Chains A and B, each alone.
Chain A
Amino acid sequence: MNTIATLVKGEIGIISEESLDVIPLKLLEMGCLPGVEVELLQVAPLKDPLYICVNGSHLAIRKEMAEQIKITKN
């Protein structure tokens, strides 16, 4: 199963519909929505947090959250 945490640096995935319930509201509001492309830009030196670009927003999120957000790779 693919999540944001399984992306490699520079890879792009699409957030899957079933993630809707696990994505915290705050993240949804910042543009991290199902059906949207997410790109992993950087991984912090200790593998956590992750630096992503989603819907035009550049965000750092923690790994534990990234692991819950399912994606499909194309």
Chain B
Amino acid sequence: MENPKPIKVALIGNPNTGKTSLFNQLTGLTQKVGNYPGVTVDKKQGTCKLLNNKTAIITDLPGTYSINPTSVDESIVLTSLLNTTDKDFPDIIVVVADVENLKRNLFLFSQVKDLEIPIILAINMSDQMERKGISLDVETLQKELQTEVVLISSRKNIGINDVKKAIENCAEVSNTHPLCSINHKIDGDYFEKLKEVSSNHTLYELWLMITQNNFPDSLTEEEKKKLLQFTQDVSRVKRYQHKETIHRYQQINQILKRTYLVDRTKAKDLRGKLDRVFTHKIFGYVIFFGVLLLIFQSIFDWSSAPMDFIDAQFANLSEFVTKQMNDGVLRDLITDGIIPGIGGVVIFIPQIAILFLFVAILEETGYMSRVVFLMDKIMRRYGMSGKSVIPLISGTACAIPAVMATRTISGWKERLITILVTPFTTCSARLPVYAILISLVIPDKKFLGYFSLQGFTLLSLYVLGFAIAIISAFILHKLLKVKSTSFFVAEMPNYKLPSIKNVVFDVLEKTKAFVFGAGKIILAISIVLWFLASNGPDSFDNVEKNITKNVLNENLSSDEIQTKIASAKLENSYIGIMGKSIEPAIKPLGYDWKIGIALISSFAAREVFVGTLATIYSVESDDENNSTIKERMRAEVNPETGEKRFDLAVGMSLLIFYAFAMQCMGTLAIVKRETKSWKWPMAQLIGMGILAYVASFITFTIFS
């Protein structure tokens, strides 16, 4: 009240220590958490009501082992700490530490402490202490570190109010002493001289500016010039950095000796046993492949009942609306365009939720890091890093966060290749397209007793996605002449039972984002398409007259005449004319102009495919009984052959096209942002487009 300005608080800590979990507790938001280093790769803000009615703005940052960054996500932390004049510069820092590995966590703490910003130490995962035989003397630690220390468990919601209280206290009495005073023990004279460069910055800040070559705007030209001189002597800077590190660890060891005790006899070695299984030279890969197989099998098996249910509900809904509303343009738009379009996405909620569920469980258990370990050597042959596995797997949900997740890869070339090939992995937007095509052209049979043929086809498409990603990576690896040094250290987190709450939130959030994101696009495209399909440059009356005249002497029922009129109208509509004009280009792939329209609208987002076809077919059929999308697609005939439109050849050709083509604006935009140039997204769009065209052509030729 007296002080309406909110307190700015930044959460800093090693990766995987529970910063985001604490952030979620403080702000009531639900940012993504996961049990591997590098879940958060960008900063996120939220507000927190403190106990005395003040508010705090909390910033969640990516995890880092040190202020000295070696990858993009880590450098975000440095940048936000050095720029003292920035509007987001924190008033208070909360260092979040993992009690199980306090020593290494305190290393980062000691660096941050030396920046002389008011600081609190929150020691997380206190619920694990008993099981690991850890005891901690918080009182003494507090004195030694000259910092308020709170013991918390953000998973069990313990000590969160203490953190709030500490933030309030800290805002009032801010004591800021450097902890390790880097200067004397390393080289007194050198650091004395450095200190004289600027009186506006602490010695440690100046030291960081030199070592990181990061000169914020708050420096004067004069000061900057002096600092640049210090950077000349590279080997000395490096030597002193090493000495600084050792010096800090020595001091931390002293402190921990008096305050931290681990009873090794109490700690159970579950981790070692699990590691032996999961990283075994044969079982390791068998388990990994088994897990993938289980996921895809479940996607098909568990979801069929709820999907049939949803499908029927949407058909009912259309029928209901048809009965309720008066005949007219608006009714047609709703029953023929919007409801089937939205239904085309909603129906995939069960499958997508199952996929998200498995990915979330994998992420929460700590298994992902074992896969990183297993795959590093293999991935390196293809110019990537073991860490590329995480974007490739999480890309099965959506390529956009997957491209962001590459930030943890420290070598630029490894990272670039990973970004470029990630869109090949089968994302959830492809799932609706695959599923409907598979159910149309692949027989619903079992082989070897248990595996369903449809499920196996889907699995093959996923494997194909990974395979083509790997192959393109290999080609890029040979082609790209990018200089970069790669540096690989991956932390192996302890195994954890997944927190049900986290998993459920994660699945809900992602599914919601998928449905609403896709829903909006589909709604818009359905309306535009519907308009373009029911209007044309010529008056439709002429078309109708022509048809009626032509069929006069044929012996047709009125129903058949109605159908003929409707398709003639569609062909003469704007969309029909557009489709017809691109038909020659896609004919070699086995597609007609209606599929062509669906392909084009899919460039906004792939999942639009089903909705587009639904809209087009329903405008054409012009009937009163609302059949499901699948039935409509099955009923569609190829007028040239009189056979089904979606036969095996066309279906396979389409599957391959969707597997390879870059049809996602969102991904293109994020690749532009992460690579800072249009060059790479354009290369993706064109390269993947050519590949898709050629591969579909070959597929169609083989199967027909």
Contacts and interface: CB of A to CB of B under 8 A. Distances in A.
B555 to A, nearest CB: 73
Contact of B376 (A24, A27, A60): A60
Interface string B484-499: 0001111111100000
Contact of A27 (B239, B377, B386, B489): B489
Given A30-B65, A58-B492, A25 B279 contact: no
B157 interface: no
A62 B488 contact: yes
Nearest to B246: A33
Nearest to B491: A59
Contacts of B490: 49, 59-60
B204 interface: no
A26 B246 contact: no
A26 B279 contact: no
A44 to B, nearest CB: 6
A42 B245 CA distance: 27
B143 interface: no
A61 B246 contact: no
Given A45-B284, A46-B378, A60-B372, A51 B275 contact: yes
Interface residues on A, range: 20 to 34
A25 B248 CA distance: 13
Contact of A31 (B100, B107, B238, B493): B107
B276 interface: yes
Nearest to B410: A26
Interface residues of B, number: 42
B101 A46 contact: no
B488 A61 contact: yes
A7 interface: no
Interface string B82-116: 00000000000000000011011001000000000
B25 interface: no
B245 A56 contact: no
B191 interface: no
Interface in A9-59: 20-21, 23-31, 33-34, 41-42, 44-49, 51, 55-59
B245 A49 contact: no
Contacts of A65: 488
Nearest to A25: B241
A36 B492 CA distance: 19
20 contacts: A21-B239, A25-B241, A25-B242, A30-B491, A42-B373, A44-B279, A44-B373, A44-B374, A45-B377, A46-B377, A49-B377, A51-B492, A55-B104, A58-B271, A59-B491, A60-B376, A60-B488, A60-B491, A61-B489, A62-B488
The 4 closest A-B pairs by CB, nearest first: A45-B281, A46-B377, A29-B66, A58-B492
Given A20-B242, A45-B279, A49-B490, 5 more contacts: A31-B249, A42-B275, A42-B373, A49-B377, A60-B489
